[in-house]
Amino acid sequence: MTIPDWVYDRIFYQIFPDRFANGDQTNDPPNKQPWGTLPDTVHFQGGDLAGIQQKLDYLGDLGVNAIYLNPIFLSPSSHRYNTVNYYAIDPKLGSLDEFNNFLKTAHRKGFRVILDGVFNHCGRGFFAFNDVLENEADSPYYNWFHINRFPLQAYTPGKSTNYTAWWGYKSLPKFNTDYAPVRKYIFDVAKFWVDQGIDGWRLDVPNEINDDSFWAEFRRVVRAANPNAYLVGEIWEVDSRWVGENHFDGLMNYPLRKAILGLINDERDGDGFIDDIQQIIKAYPYENVLAMYSLLGSHDVERPRTLFGGSVEKTCLAFTLLFGLPGVPSIYYGDEIGMEGGRDPDCRRAFPWDERKWSRTLQEHIRLLAQIRMAYSSLRRGEIIWPEKGQVEGGVAWIRSLDSNKKILITANPSGKDTVLRLKELPTMPVEGKLPNLLDETHELHIAPNQVSAPLPAWGAGMYLLPD
């Protein structure tokens, strides 16, 4: 299996387009909420493609070099998972020309861009579903959906019973992807946007299109258009079925997120955390482990700082673990400045561009992590070496190593008390001495015969460059 080589050298930034930046107020809807209003499931706040393009230098300065955009196609909602036209950019975000200009600018600045592909279901305003609403069983698009009986009652209260919809939401009729014309339509859409120049797709709820042949053909079509397109699936559990030559290069690594949260929130001890990570690693070929889309926050979950009770220190540690483990790290817009938010829609608040509201500590920490990751290929492509059980006291530790390249030792103190992490002898260590902590120059690594010790503050961590 060939994974696009560029993927390993990326740090992703996920953007919910309506809430990141408003760069062109002329395309705002008339009922737009004021920027920063606590979000609901209905209203828009005016974010657009122009705003994203204007903030590319901000993203580059942070150290990210890839962007994942939540849906941008024509839709009546701010989340845009109920697509009306897969070939049209939502005018509230901009035009096709503006999208192509954004894409060209992003590529010139060194970014890769992937889009959200919502192909399990569409919106009620989608042309084929509208035709069925109008013509019922006489519609030429009758077989595009799973129809039980008429009338469809698509706009009445309650769950969908007359046709199949995603989780019963009437606004999200499910495609019949067994039907050849539907498959062709979706594959043509996927190819069209790859031909426009996007660098891949994030596929929404792909397990609900429970058809291996569909995804094998989807992959073939996309890769024929661009052999270097990255395909990542939204699969929430460890499941090797969805990775490989007939499916995806990587998955949204929610199990990794769960392991990190469990360790820091004292739901798992160090051994349990390591077991969780090893379960993920053992489930997939290692080249795919390295291509996993590793996340702490997204549009579907509470923001990490909120889950940590507002603690910047815990959030910094979580990002250190994320960047130190195998996979492609991602940042959900605003997590780098300490935005808070509960479950959807609260996790979709508008980005506060008033810098007085930012956590500079967290932002600088993530910027440093990005610099370290890009400086050492072992963090991007290296294997992970775990000390044997019983060798580590006072925290967790592991090594990232790549052939003859520099080895990085990572240590973490997932507790609220200062500690000295002690680690029995490591390979290639000098007999004694000190090594600087790339994350914190005030806490060096101390090397003595048969033991390494790392003083760490509460919720602190270390990254140390080991000698050859």
Residues tagged active-site? 204, 234
Q: Where are the alpha helices (DSSP H) in 246-401?
A: 254-264, 270-283, 286-289, 304-307, 312-324, 360-375, 377-381
CA distance 455 to 441: 11
* Cα maximum dimension of the chain: 82
CA distance 159 to 118: 20
Residue written as token pair 């509470």: 302
Residue 25 phi/psi, 5-degree rounding, is -75, -10
Residues 243 and 289: beta-carbon distance below 8 Å: no
CB atoms within 10 A of CB 197: 14
Residue 202 phi/psi, 5-degree rounding, is -100, 125
Question: Residue 395: which region, alpha, beta or left (left: phi > 0; alpha: psi -120 to 50)?
Answer: left
CA atoms in the 13 A half-sphere facing the CB of 190: 28
CA distance 169 to 160: 6
* Rg, the chain, Cα only: 23
Q: Both ends of the chain: CA-CA distance in Å?
A: 32
Burial 384-401 (b: 16+ CB within 10 A, else e): beebeeeebebbbbbbbb
